Amino acid sequence: MDSQLRNQKEFNNIAEIAGNFDIGEIEEVSRYGNGRINETFLIRTLGKADTRYTRQKYILQKLHKIFKSTLLKDVDAITYHLEKNGFVTPRLIKTKDNKLGIVEKEDCWRMLTYIPGITYEKGMSPKLAEQAAGLVGKFHDTLSNVNYAFHHKIPDFHNTPAIMNRLCRATQQFNASEKHKTLHPLADKILKVYERIDATPYSLPDRVIHGDLKISNVRFSKNGEEAISLLDLDTLGKDKIVIDLGDAVRSWCNSAEEGDVKGTTFNINIFEHMIRGYFQTANFITTDEKMKIPDGIELMTLELSARYITDAFEESYFTLDKLRYPSLYEQNKQKAIAQLQFYDDFQSKQHIVVQIIEKYA
């Protein structure tokens, strides 16, 4: 039993669920990664009886309730297309009765192939940023001609107007609370900025996007030098390509961890390497999409700031980092403040951002 599991009962429960999948005899079970939403476990097996597989690793996940079982169909279809076109990607392992996952009451479990390598939680170097952006460009390019109707959609995911409306409601609902004194000025700043910006680049075409291109969702080779795969495909869907790029820039170009108010800045050097890497492989992208990238950065930074403040009020969505924060209120407040500082620094450098895009476009 791995020490990361709570007790023998938990080990037995996870091993029993994993045993429904066609992976061989289970040897070890441990918690895995720092995901904020899904519960993730690393499963080690002794291999199948035919000895073709030995000591394999797999990823078992209990999906957050925001995800429905129809998500599995989308992941299976898109990863099949990616793999068929030479893109390294996690694939779903079917159950012994040939299903894509296990649905028990409100819980949905899935098993994924394990991609060997390393991930980074922070500290993206210019070289790694160029590598990772090139991989994202290849990902988008591979899926640019896919005509697929997605079965699963997260309610109001990247729906910026709806997210801003929810922030307004939370501000009004908690008007009499102690939280309001601290959070209201932050919420007010976001809403005032949002009122005067181009809310969404409606004229751009819908593309298949990843939906959550934070640093930790890029898998690098074991030596840490080559970007080889994109992880966490739960947010796949159709949207504007600048939404994906804006979210990646928001994550990769931040010189500090989320919540580090003092160290947060917009790293223009990382951004330039991202743009250079991306444009080398994203053959599909139009000039209009390239020039709207700053709008995507602005929207995604404000959107995440709004989500953090809303959850600082409600304390119901994000997973609490108990080692760093006493409550979701404190965690989300700090992360919102840091995001807004990143936004301000991005604004001060936006003229350079445009110059870089024009240089490589």
pLDDT of residue 122: 78
126-360, CATH topology level = Aminoglycoside 3'-phosphotransferase; Chain: A, domain 2 (3.90.1200)
Q: How far apart are CA 278 and CA 272, in angstroms?
A: 10
Are 118 and 137 within 8 A, CB to CB?
Answer: no
Asked whether residue 5 carries a pLDDT value surpassing 80, the answer given is: no
What is the pTM for the complete model shown? 0.90
Q: How far apart are CA 301 and CA 250, in angstroms?
A: 6
Better-scored residue on pLDDT, 34 or 7: 34
Q: Where exactly are the structural domains of the chain?
A: 8-113, 126-360
Q: How far apart are CA 247 and CA 339, in angstroms?
A: 12
Domain spanning 8-113: CATH superfamily: Phosphorylase Kinase; domain 1 (3.30.200.20)
Report residue 36's pLDDT band, with 50, 70 and 90 as the boundaries.
low
pLDDT of residue 32: 86
**Strand-pair partners of 118:** 220
pLDDT of residue 64: 86
Better-scored residue on pLDDT, 284 or 12: 284
Three-class secondary structure of residue 90 per DSSP: coil
Q: How far apart are CA 185 and CA 181, in angstroms?
A: 8
Angle at 305 between CA 299 and CA 311, to 5 degrees: 135
pLDDT tens for each residue of 273-315: 999 999 999 999 999 999 999 999 999 999 999 999 999 999 9
Same fold, 8-113 and 126-360: no
Report residue 1's pLDDT band, with 50, 70 and 90 as the boundaries.
very low
Better-scored residue on pLDDT, 103 or 35: 103
**Strand-pair partners of 219:** 229
Asked whether residue 124 carries a pLDDT value surpassing 60, the answer given is: yes
Asked whether residue 2 carries a pLDDT value surpassing 80, the answer given is: no
In order of 22, 23, 27, 145, the CA distances from 48 in angstroms are 9, 7, 12, 38
What is the rounded average pLDDT for all residues in the chain? 91
- Chain-centroid distance of CA 189 in Å reads 25
Least confident of 53-57, 61-65, 123-127: 53-57
Three-class secondary structure of residue 301 per DSSP: helix
Asked whether residue 238 carries a pLDDT value surpassing 60, the answer given is: yes
Concatenating the DSSP letter of every residue in 257-269 gives -TT-TTT--B-HH
